Structure 1
Amino acid sequence: MRVRRLSLSVLLAVAGCAAPSIAVPPPAAPVRQPVGVVVESVLPVAARRALDQSLDRYLRDRPGRAALAVYDRTTGTRYAFRERTPFMLASVMKVDILLAFLLTKRGELSDYERDLASRMIRDSDNDCAGELYMTIGGREGFARVLRRLGVEHTEPGPSLYWGTTLSRPSDQVKVLEQLTDPKGPLPAPDRRYALKLMSSVQPSQAWGVSAAGGEVALKNGWLPADAHGGLWTINSVGRLDVRGHELLIAVLSERSPTMETGIATVERLARLAVDALTGPEETVSASKVF
């Protein structure tokens, strides 16, 4: 994949767009739950420790740093890893902009606005993202949306530099929840529209959490950041349907020497986390084929 090396100021310039399934232990005083209700929980201690160790071992010899969060909507299980220090979002911020924009418009999108949103997500067009960011009120408008949604650890970038927004993986999972939850703030047509866009990004941009397999709707971010001496920020967030589990996952990383190195790190972390929550895909030997 060939990527032109751009400075932070150029890449983020804003202008008008011309054109194992985990069982949840019962509480001390059991309460009967209606059929279909999922009780949220954190990953059990033993499973958490095993996954922590697996991720730690992998990252020990990797350059830069990385963190992730995942929510298994099927089992209600949540897990987060190394996310105290925030990361620059780069183009993953476009999912946040899309959510804020859809909340502002409430389904009343013009053809022009749909074109902007489509190009922002499918093509990762920065100019279109900038125009939609201004439509929602820029930094101040975006911050108001975050507060209303309870996204607490995301700091919008200065002025119109939306790509320098700092966030944690768990906050990006919250954004994905709001974007896709049937009981969330968006009407069904807007949820379907967002997932349609994220399910049809340019093939050259379909790396990242998709490496964990299954049906995928995603958005990635990549940037040789001036703030890190030109080292790469590589991020990937998305919704996965894997082995009967609906997962929302965010993997953020920074300071990789090359884009390819960062992508390899993000993809491996996604696979390790997804396999831990859903069970690795079984390899079928010839003797098992009938």
Structure 2
Amino acid sequence: MRVRGISLVGALLAVAGCANPSTVVPPQAAAIGRPGGVVVESVLPVAARHALDRTLDRYLRQRPGRAALAVYDRTTGARYSYRERTPFVLASVAKVDILLAFLLGKQGELSAYERTLTSKMIRESDNDCAHELYLTIGGQKGLTRVLRRLGVEHTWPGPGLYWGTTRSRPSDQVKVLEWLTDPEGPLPASDRRYALKLMSSVEPSQAWGVSAAGGDVALKNGWLPVDAHDGLWTINSVGRLGVDGHDLLIAVLSERSPTMETGIATVERLAELAVDELTRSRATFTAAQVF
């Protein structure tokens, strides 16, 4: 899906909240348990993994900037990651992390006002609402604390109030999606359904990115011209896809694209190539137990 009529957000943060901050009650600390017990997972066979590496390498040699991705096929248990050692600025993808931390604190007990905040933050990518929710979960320290308790080790929330400058790796964002959607995870079923409902109904102009791989889609994107990169664009997309009977969690992060459209094209093509390999491969996966 390509971009049509996207209105750019001038800044990641605003001083004003989405509404009256005093009406937001800080969430109570929630006990966080690991999903399941022993989980049988797998990796792509070496030959298939190297073939996909080469395919992505060939494509990115023709593209400006850099990019990385991670995919987890929950149907087969296969995991794949690519070029993700160096973290990326998340921009509005950080709103998914904020949503997870907030829902963990609420445990299914959201007020009408809190539903307005979370809905606008995800569906409309409203920065004022994200700002307010970030404050509610304790800002940088609060989000870091939640993520570390979840085993999300390579994500560093932004300093002060700058949640949009949160840096992360694709695999960490796949982990965030796992915690947000896992039936054996700490979120109540009502919260899992609510999160997917929001991500399945973002503004049409913001429904680009991993949706290019097709199927049923729940996603959140991030886009930002970064001053530290001389105004070049950071373009990110994360989400859950249902493709040909496969339940996929995917994160594609990129930076230093000359235009927003160029970055979107890169992210979309990477998602298509990776999802195609994981869904068409009939190879036997190498199983491993993860405790």
TM-score (norm 1): 0.87
The residue type equivalent to 1:123 in the other structure is: E
Paired position in structure 1 for 2:181: 180
How far has the Cα of 1:11 moved from its partner? 2.7
The residue type equivalent to 2:113 in the other structure is: Y
Paired position in structure 2 for 1:62: 63
How far has the Cα of 1:265 moved from its partner? 0.1
Separation in structure 2 between the aligned mates of residue 12 and residue 164 of structure 1, nearest angstrom: 10
- Once the two structures are superposed, residues 200-231 of structure 1 have per-residue CA deviations (whole angstroms, 9 ceiling, x without a partner) of 00000000000000000000000011111110
Paired position in structure 1 for 2:119: 118
Separation in structure 2 between the aligned mates of residue 11 and residue 46 of structure 1, nearest angstrom: 42
8 Å CA contact 1:14–1:161 kept in 2: the answer is: no
Percent of residue pairs bearing the same amino acid type: 82
2:185 match: secondary structure: coil
- Once the two structures are superposed, residues 39-93 of structure 1 have per-residue CA deviations (whole angstroms, 9 ceiling, x without a partner) of 2011110000000000000000100000000000000000000000000000000
Separation in structure 2 between the aligned mates of residue 38 and residue 241 of structure 1, nearest angstrom: 21
Paired position in structure 1 for 2:137: 136
Paired position in structure 1 for 2:28: none
Q: Report whether the alignment pairs 1:41 with 2:42.
A: yes
Q: Report whether the alignment pairs 1:276 with 2:280.
A: no
Q: Report whether the alignment pairs 1:195 with 2:196.
A: yes
Paired position in structure 2 for 1:88: 89
Separation in structure 1 between the aligned mates of residue 193 and residue 8 of structure 2, nearest angstrom: 34
Q: Report whether the alignment pairs 1:107 with 2:108.
A: yes
Structure 2 residue runs without a partner (length 5+): 21-37, 282-291
Q: Which has the larger radius of gyration?
A: 1
Separation in structure 2 between the aligned mates of residue 14 and residue 38 of structure 1, nearest angstrom: 44
Do the aligned partners of residues 6 and 119 (structure 1) sit closer, same or farther apart at CA in structure 2, a change above 3 Å counting? closer
Paired position in structure 1 for 2:212: 211
8 Å CA contact 1:154–1:165 kept in 2: the answer is: yes
- Once the two structures are superposed, residues 133-185 of structure 1 have per-residue CA deviations (whole angstroms, 9 ceiling, x without a partner) of 11101111101101110000001111010000000000000000000000011
2:261 match: secondary structure: helix
Do the aligned partners of residues 182 and 5 (structure 1) sit closer, same or farther apart at CA in structure 2, a change above 3 Å counting? closer
Paired position in structure 2 for 1:222: 223
Separation in structure 2 between the aligned mates of residue 245 and residue 4 of structure 1, nearest angstrom: 33
Do the aligned partners of residues 42 and 15 (structure 1) sit closer, same or farther apart at CA in structure 2, a change above 3 Å counting? farther
8 Å CA contact 2:6–2:206 kept in 1: the answer is: no
8 Å CA contact 1:39–1:75 kept in 2: the answer is: no
1:11 match: secondary structure: coil
Paired position in structure 1 for 2:32: none
8 Å CA contact 1:209–1:237 kept in 2: the answer is: yes
Separation in structure 2 between the aligned mates of residue 213 and residue 42 of structure 1, nearest angstrom: 23
Separation in structure 2 between the aligned mates of residue 51 and residue 110 of structure 1, nearest angstrom: 45
The residue type equivalent to 1:39 in the other structure is: V
8 Å CA contact 1:14–1:126 kept in 2: the answer is: no
Do the aligned partners of residues 224 and 106 (structure 1) sit closer, same or farther apart at CA in structure 2, a change above 3 Å counting? same
2:40 match: secondary structure: coil
How far has the Cα of 1:4 moved from its partner? 5.4
8 Å CA contact 1:102–1:186 kept in 2: the answer is: yes
How far has the Cα of 1:14 moved from its partner? 4.8
8 Å CA contact 1:14–1:160 kept in 2: the answer is: no
TM-score (norm 2): 0.87
Backbone CA RMSD of aligned residues: 1.5
Structure 1 residue runs without a partner (length 5+): 20-36, 281-290
How far has the Cα of 1:95 moved from its partner? 0.5
Aligned pairs for 1:159-170 within 5 A:
159-170=160-171
Separation in structure 1 between the aligned mates of residue 16 and residue 49 of structure 2, nearest angstrom: 44
Structure showing greater relative contact order (alpha-carbon pairs closer than 8 Å, 6 or more residues apart): 2
